[in-house]
Amino acid sequence: MNPTRLAFIRSTLCRHFRRDPLSARPFEGLRFIDVGCGGGILSEPLARMGAIVTGVDAVEKNIKIARLHADLDPVTLKIEYQCTTAEKLVEEQKSFDAVFALEVIEHVENPADFCKSLSALTVPSGATVISTINRSMRAYATAIIAAEYLLHWLPKGTHQWSTFLTPEELILILERASISVQEMAGFAYNPLTGRWSISDDVSVNFIAYGTKTKAGNLEI
């Protein structure tokens, strides 16, 4: 799914920052943060596209893996990985041109507070990108039953259906955090080709791009 997510990110953020989408390094000089970066599968391509990337994860093992892999490439070697949380970075008054949280919000205890932290990390008029799974019966069948129990793409128990957000709920939470959703898309999987593609169908996996609407300090 990662190349498909990156295609959405390149398209929306190049428009947002008025950059050339055909450039090899369209995000040159922009400061990005990947919240819940895991092993760095998003952080690394963003760095290759020219961004100054910070990757953070609350799990120390993930950060160690990300650093080991990043060290293999002189470009990704520059990524700043930290074992920390978005909330702690807000306390440190960090800010970024774009904030990413892919497949993270369904795992946090309080999505509303989490989105407020993401907003606080985003500069005025900056961009925020979130991807997650819809709380639909189709998502239960595919993202949990199929992915975890039949295909074994993920360990059993990775997701809890009750923690998923609908697109409408995510939009409302982001609006309350001063982030206005500008574009949303779904992802479709073709079992015959084994490939993902961008889709209008947001009933299972979906991604949202928004802009920070004001510079006011949010209460975290």
Could you tell me if 85 and 58 are in contact, meaning their C-beta atoms sit under 8 angstroms apart?
yes
Could you tell me if 40 and 70 are in contact, meaning their C-beta atoms sit under 8 angstroms apart?
yes
b/e 79-111 (16+ beta carbons within 10 angstroms → b): bebeebbbeebbeeebbbbbbbbbbbbbebeeb
Could you tell me if 138 and 191 are in contact, meaning their C-beta atoms sit under 8 angstroms apart?
no
Q: Is the pLDDT of residue 138 over 80?
A: no
Least confident of 57-66, 132-141, 178-187, 201-210: 132-141
Helix ranges (DSSP H) in 92-194: 111-121, 137-139, 167-176
Residue-wise pLDDT tens digits, 25-59: 999 999 999 999 999 999 999 999 999 999 999 99
2-212 fold = Rossmann fold (3.40.50)
Type of residue found at 193: T
Q: Where are the domains of the chain?
A: 2-212
Task: Report the alpha-carbon distance of residue 133 to residue 139 in Å, rounded.
Answer: 7
Residue-wise pLDDT tens digits, 147-191: 655 556 656 666 576 788 999 999 999 999 999 999 999 998 888
